[in-house]
């Protein structure tokens, strides 16, 4: 049995009574005793902190760092500048998504590339650089009151704007802070050296920020219509099928998978992601058939109960594109849930 990676905050989570689960090769908190729904609503109404140290960090430095990323990743770094973050994709030869990534442009010749937990090795082999994941923890402080509460710890933390990236000294530790997140709420993600990780976690919690697990992070991102790799994105799903053409910079002459993606664009996309709301509290799940009448039109990629909307929601990859308001059914283990096709996201992102 492969030994799981542990977050630098593992002991802090266990001291709080967190339920731990395996995620991407890491042992991570899925929920604390208050429960996923409570944590979810705390993020929508106040502020929570997630430990997302399981996400990778690949540091690419040097004169050719930008060129190395430009030649492989789909988005165009020329659209941003030093001190900014960008969402981008790494594709395979078929034009499908090996990983979706946030790039933090930290300084002139330094980029911190943030892959999903289980994909760090793939990204490292594609772009080069150094895997520095084990040298830091990453705290995501999210919610409408996140910056107000962070201001009691550091005004520098609270003054980070959306998609800004800044190096900030905190108690002698060099942190990298970005105005990014995965909840649909405002907030920041703080990469802090392992030596200061536990101290910063406790300071954030003392500021009134509620610890939240990966269960709430998933329901939050689903409400906000944000894709999850392995579900809405995968090595069999392209950015065009996931309604993410804006991540593709067609003006770039080269990036991995470009030729296949151009062919798909020119021939027409056959599959699409759609949003579905269901009646009642029973949650749809991923991998369920979506039907119109007796015809299966696709499968759900994600589904759950929405704590904010108080009914089921799902994202599905379908072979046709039913009109908004169309009636559909989702087959959950032999029971059909009535649903309606809706526009994504399910809630407005802030």
The C-alpha atoms of residue 216 and residue 48 are separated, in whole angstroms, by 10
Which pTM was predicted? 0.97
Domains and their CATH numbers in the chain: 5-50+133-223 (3.30.1360.120), 58-131+238-268 (3.30.70.1400), 271-350 (2.40.30.110)
Please answer whether residues 307 and 219 qualify as being in contact, where contact means their C-beta atoms are separated by less than 8 angstroms: yes
Strand order in the sheet with 130-131: 85-91, 97-107, 110-114, 58-61, 130-131
- For 94, the token pair is 């078929």
The C-alpha atoms of residue 165 and residue 107 are separated, in whole angstroms, by 9
Q: Which 3 state secondary structure label does DSSP give 155?
A: helix
**pLDDT on residue 1:** 59
**pLDDT on residue 155:** 97
* Residues 6+ away with beta carbon under 8 Å from 341: 274, 275, 276, 322, 323, 324, 325, 326, 328
- For 202, the token pair is 């406790």
**pLDDT on residue 295:** 96
Phi, psi of 123 (to 5 degrees): -65, -40
> Which portions of the chain are predicted below pLDDT 70?
1
The C-alpha atoms of residue 33 and residue 332 are separated, in whole angstroms, by 28
**pLDDT on residue 348:** 87
Rounded alpha-carbon distances, angstroms, from residue 200 to 15, 42, 153: 16, 20, 9
């Amino acid at each position: 049995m492969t030994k799981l990676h542990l977050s630098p905050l593992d002991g802090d989570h266990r001291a709080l009574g967190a339920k731990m689960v395996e995620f991407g090769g890491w042992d991570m908190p899925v929920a604390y005793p208050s429960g996923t729904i409570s944590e979810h609503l705390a993020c929508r109404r106040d502020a929570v902190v997630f430990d997302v140290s399981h996400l990778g960090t690949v540091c690419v430095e040097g004169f050719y760092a930008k060129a190395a990323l430009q030649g492989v990743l789909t988005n165009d770094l020329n659209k941003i500048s030093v001190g900014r973050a960008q969402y981008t994709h790494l594709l395979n030869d078929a034009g499908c998504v090996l990983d979706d990534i946030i790039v933090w442009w930290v300084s002139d010749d330094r980029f911190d590339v943030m892959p999903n937990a289980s994909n760090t090795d793939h990204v490292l082999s594609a772009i080069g650089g150094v895997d520095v994941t084990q040298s830091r923890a990453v705290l995501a402080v999210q919610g409408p009151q996140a910056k107000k509460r962070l201001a009691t710890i550091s005004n520098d933390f609270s003054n980070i704007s959306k998609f800004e990236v800044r190096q900030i000294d905190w108690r002698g530790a060099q942190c990298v802070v970005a105005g990014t997140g995965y909840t649909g709420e405002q907030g920041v993600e703080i990469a802090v050296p392992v030596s200061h990780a536990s101290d910063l976690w406790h300071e954030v919690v003392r500021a009134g920020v509620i610890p939240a697990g990966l269960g709430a992070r998933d329901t939050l991102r689903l409400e906000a219509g944000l894709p999850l790799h392995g579900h809405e994105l995968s090595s069999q799903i392209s950015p065009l099928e996931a309604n993410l053409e804006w991540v593709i910079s067609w003006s770039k002459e080269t990036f991995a998978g470009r030729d296949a993606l151009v062919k798909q664009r020119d021939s027409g996309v056959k599959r699409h992601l759609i949003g579905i709301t269901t009646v009642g509290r029973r949650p749809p799940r991923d991998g369920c058939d979506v039907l119109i009448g007796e015809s299966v039109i696709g499968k759900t990629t994600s589904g759950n109960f929405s704590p904010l909307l108080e009914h089921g929601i799902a994202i599905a990859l379908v072979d046709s594109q039913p009109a908004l308001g169309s009636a559909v059914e989702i087959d959950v283990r032999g029971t059909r849930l009535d649903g309606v096709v809706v526009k994504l996201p399910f809630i407005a992102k802030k």
